[in-house]
Structure 1
Amino acid sequence: MIETPTVRRGFVRAPWRSAVQALAVSSAVLFANTAFADDPDIARAQQLVREGKYQDAYGLLSPFESANAGDAEFSYLLGRAALGTQQPEKAKALFQRSLAGRPDFVPAHLGLGRAYFALGAYAEAKIEFETVFRFENLPPDVRSQAEVYDQAARQSLDENRPLSGFGYAEMGIGQYRVNETVGTNALGGGDRRDTFYNARAGGGFNYALQNGYAIDGTLDYRYRYYDNSDSRSDSDLRWRLAGSKALGENNLSAGFRGRTSYRGDGNYRNDVSIFTDYRMRHDPDNQFTFGGDIRRRNYPEGPERNRSRTTALLSAGWVNSFMDGKGSLSLTGHAGRNYATSRPDGDSNVFGATAALDFTVSNTLSWGGFVWWERDLFASDNIHFHPDTADNTVLLRRRDNLYEVGAYVVWEFMPTWSLRPELLWIRDQSNSIGFNYSSTELWVNLRKSF
């Protein structure tokens, strides 16, 4: 008899089980390949951006935008590509997204500043750039300031340069008038008019270090020659050297600045100070500033030598961007003390304020102005001629109110070239006749930016 073999359950595989396992393995491989394909090629995108192939980089990254919205590096690279393909509004949103995930990402701050600049929001661009850059001796109009910062940001991002900077040269002609006051009339200098010629040149640099640190410096030279041989020719050299640290939306700076001025008749005035400055970007439209400064003003020789003094100042300010970045309002207050002086009127407490407005009419035309005021309260009684007395001296404590009012128009008639009419009115008002003074200056400068 032939025996039938016993089939033991679990040892003989049914054909359908093999098919299911094969399908599972194929699905796993397919899913893995699909997941791999959903990862953007960041290294390739970085290379394309470095090479300036923004359209290729945008095409490579844009399909993955939704899946990588929380990736700060991805949003930054796509923002660079969008800015390079003339999509500043898109770039702005991407840089903002990058900074939301990584507030201390310096390249994203520079990219966002460039996006604002490309949109014509110059005041917002300046606020954003100043989370990274620190330049002084800039022109008064916000559009030109933002243009200087944008050039430095382009050098840093597009050219991958740790060292970025700017330069300029100016020359012009103007009219200087000494206005009649009780003081200028008493000194025989009231209502005097002089034609002058002026020149100015300078520049600045920023050297980026690791982790948001940077070293920056500026140099500015100004010269004015008066047509009247009885008037002095002035020269002025200003410098600054400082270090800074980008702290997300804020920036902390500290360093040294100085100034050497020729005051006529062989007299010079030297200023050297140590300072610190903190800028806080509250939002795209508002910036707050806080600063401290200790300076020594020295007149080495001559009749003004007793005016040498040390000054300690504290300041606080607010900058507001409005009209979609086309307008800028800034308010600053300062207070301090002049001490270590040999002036007959002694030490003095000072406090004051500055207000400035700037409007951009177009990408080639802007205008603005400022008002500055300071109150000086001297500590010592001294003998002076009082404005209300007639040839009689009185014992008094000197009290001064100093005012400056300025206005300007800037017309960039071709790239890097601009024409700049400016007006400045000065008034020194004092309870002592000898310190009353007023002048009006009007000039036109031609400026070349580098």
Structure 2
Amino acid sequence: MLYHRYTRPASLALCLLSFLSAPVTADDVLVQAEQLLNQKRGQEAFALLSPLEDERAGDPGFDFLLGRAALANGRNTEAAFAFERCLAVDPKNGPCRMQMAQTHMLLGENDQARLELKTIQEYSPPPEVETLVSQYMGMLDEKDGQAKRQVSAYAQLGLGYDTNVNSATDQSQIAIPALGGLYFVYDSAAREQEDSYAQLEAGARLRQSLTPAWSLLADAGVSQRLHQDVDGLNSLALDASVGGAWRTGPSQIVLRANAQNYQLDGDDYRKLVGGMGQYIYSPRDSSQLSAYLQVTDMSYDGQPSRDARRDTLGAAWSQALDWWRNPVVYAGLYGGQETPETGDVKYEHFGQQFFGVRVGGSLALGARTQLNGAISTESRDYDAEHPYFLTTRSDSQIDVNLGLAYRLGKYLSVRPNYTFTSNDSNIVINEFSRHTLSVDIRYER
């Protein structure tokens, strides 16, 4: 715990009590409180002193001991108020100023802690105290370095069952209007297939502060899915992005370049290369608004007719609510177009305009359990008539997700998850529904 990390042996405490400390008048209450603190009975000391705060606040001896007792009970903010009162009356009280520095450190107020320590150094303290101040300064430098570089990583292993691994229709006979409405038997491999699977995901994220305003961003991730029977749909996705962020007050601008290599059955299937610009506004710690523009070039291995550019413009909002169970809600909308890159009119039917809406949130069910849910819908209107079905394709898709996250430890959690997808289309081969149920073990820090 941080409190124990910033405490030192009794000999140093005695040294501090003798360093630049103005005489204080002891009484039975203060003597008893100090004895309790020395015996590491901070809760009893706080219970003894706290009821007297209104009456005795402003007495440096009382405020000093009250601050120590509050600190011993993890009441860091209350400790800061007590030490501030002590220093307001007795600014040369060395022990109190050292405790004030320690309290600032516990509150994450590193700059204020450094100022208090420098003030102590100006008094030319004894070598033992100077050593302790230097140790605290080293801790502050270490914390500042950690704040400048933020690295997170995760690994996740899951088992699941998918009722439609290829997102295909369940129809066995298909009429082809371009061939006079003749019915053809749809190959079983192209129809809906169910299967169980195992999935492995891992990734890492870096945010390196270059200046108070500028930061370097980098991400990398890998996701592999292995099916028990339909191994032709085994997939591997490799993702990477790099960019920068500029922050001023509650506003932040983020620019990223990203790439993905998606493989099916061990062979390259699709490559994505693109970039994104995002504006983020955080009026409070509990809320955030954002708008973004994303441009992506998609190339399909062996299928150049499907190569396209996808442009997306969107906005999102999230809010943490100070309600029962501390819910967090979010909503977003986006739209854009996908344009084939061949320029050949034969492939215009691959182009589309799309529009989507997402809403979701999370709810704490207990100290270890969180419920997550989301629903999204997307409509897609294609640019030209399909050459075989003689109609312009129009789709409407809905996705519903419900999951739990149960924390097994500080970094480990188990996550059961259910997803339902339904795509309605005026072209039968593009109409499908899908249920996915999985259980994942996730390590994240």
User: TM-score band (shorter)?
Assistant: 0.5 to 0.7
Query: Identity of aligned pairs, percent?
Result: 14
Aligned to 2:85: 63
Are the structure 2 counterparts of residues 180 and 165 from structure 1 closer, same or farther at C-alpha, using a change threshold of 3 Å?
closer
Query: In 1, distance between residues paired with 2:80 and 2:100?
Result: 6
Where 1:415 maps in the other structure, the secondary structure is coil
Gaps of 5+ in 1: 1-53, 68-76, 86-90, 99-153, 386-394
- 1:155-182 superposed Cα distances (whole Å, 9 cap, x missing partner): 9846545222011111121111129999
**8 A contact 2:272–2:298 mirrored in 1:** yes
Q: Say if 1:341 and 1:427 are closer, same or farther in 2 by CA, change over 3 A.
A: farther
C-alpha contact (below 8 Å) 1:334/1:353 kept by paired residues:
yes
* In 1, Cα distance between equivalents of 2:294 and 2:151: 25
Confirm or deny: 8 A CA contact 2:305 2:340 kept in the other structure: no
Matched letter for residue 160 of structure 2: G
Cα pair 1:329 1:357 within 8 Å, conserved: yes
Find the aligned partners of 2:102 and 2:378 in 1 and give their Cα distance.
Answer: 45
Deviations 1:350-380 (A, max 9, x none): 1111111111223311011111221111111
Matched, 1:421 2:419: no
Give the whole-Å Cα distance in 2 for the aligned partners of 1:334 and 1:201.
Answer: 28
- How do 1:157-196 and structure 2 match up within 5 A? 157=143, 160=146, 162-178=148-164, 183-186=169-172, 187=186, 188=188, 192-196=193-197
Matches within 5 A, 1:32-51: none
User: Relative to 1, partners in 2 of residues 1:363 and 1:63: Cα closer, same or farther, differing over 3 Å?
Assistant: same
* Count of residue correspondences: 313
Deviations 1:180-226 (A, max 9, x none): 99933244355632111111111111100113210011111111111
Q: CA deviation at 1:305?
A: 3.8
Separation in 2, partners of 1:337, 1:80 = 56
Letter paired with 2:379: R
| Match of residue 312 from structure 2 | 313
The answer (yes or no) to whether the contact 1:256–1:274 under 8 Å persists in 2 is yes
- Could you say if the C-alpha distance between residues 78 and 355 of structure 1 is closer, same or farther in structure 2, counting changes exceeding 3 Å? farther
Q: Decide whether the 8 Å contact of 1:197 with 1:224 is kept in 2.
A: yes
SS of the equivalent of 2:85 reads helix
Q: Which of the numbers 422, 433, 436 marks the counterpart of 1:438?
A: 433
How far apart are 1:233 and its partner, in Å? Answer: 0.9
Q: How does 1:35-434 map to 2 (within 5 A)?
A: 58=80, 62-63=84-85, 81=103, 84=106, 157=143, 160=146, 162-178=148-164, 183-186=169-172, 187=186, 188=188, 192-264=193-265, 266-301=267-302, 304-324=303-323, 326-342=326-342, 343-385=347-389, 395-434=390-429
Is the Cα–Cα contact under 8 Å of residues 294 and 310 in structure 1 kept in the other structure? yes
Q: Take 2:149 and 2:433, find their aligned partners in 1: how far apart are those partners?
A: 43
Contact 1:221 1:236 in 2 (8 A): yes
| Offset, 1:401 | 1.4
Tell me what 2:22 maps to. Answer: none
TM-score, length-scaled by structure 2 = 0.63
Inter-CA distance 206–181: structure 2 relative to 1 (3 Å threshold) = closer
Cα displacement string for residues 308-351 of structure 1 (whole angstroms, at most 9, x for unaligned residues) = 21011110111122135821111111011111345351422111
Spell out, residue by residue over 1:283-325, the C-alpha distance to the aligned partner (whole angstroms, 9 max, x if none): 3433211101111111122xx4422210111101111221358
Contact 2:156 2:201 in 1 (8 A): yes
Secondary structure at 2:311 match in 1 = strand
Distance 1:59-1:286 versus aligned 2 partners, 3 A rule = closer
The residue identity in structure 2 corresponding to 1:228 is: D
Distance 1:410 1:66, change over 3 A: farther
SS of aligned partner of 1:81: helix
Aligned amino acid, residue 404 of structure 1: D
* TM norm structure 1: 0.62
1:88 counterpart residue number: none
User: Displacement of 1:410 after TM fit?
Assistant: 0.3
| Residue matched to 1:449 | 444
Gaps of 5+ in 2: 1-75, 90-98, 113-139, 173-185
Maintained 8 Å contact 1:294/1:312: yes
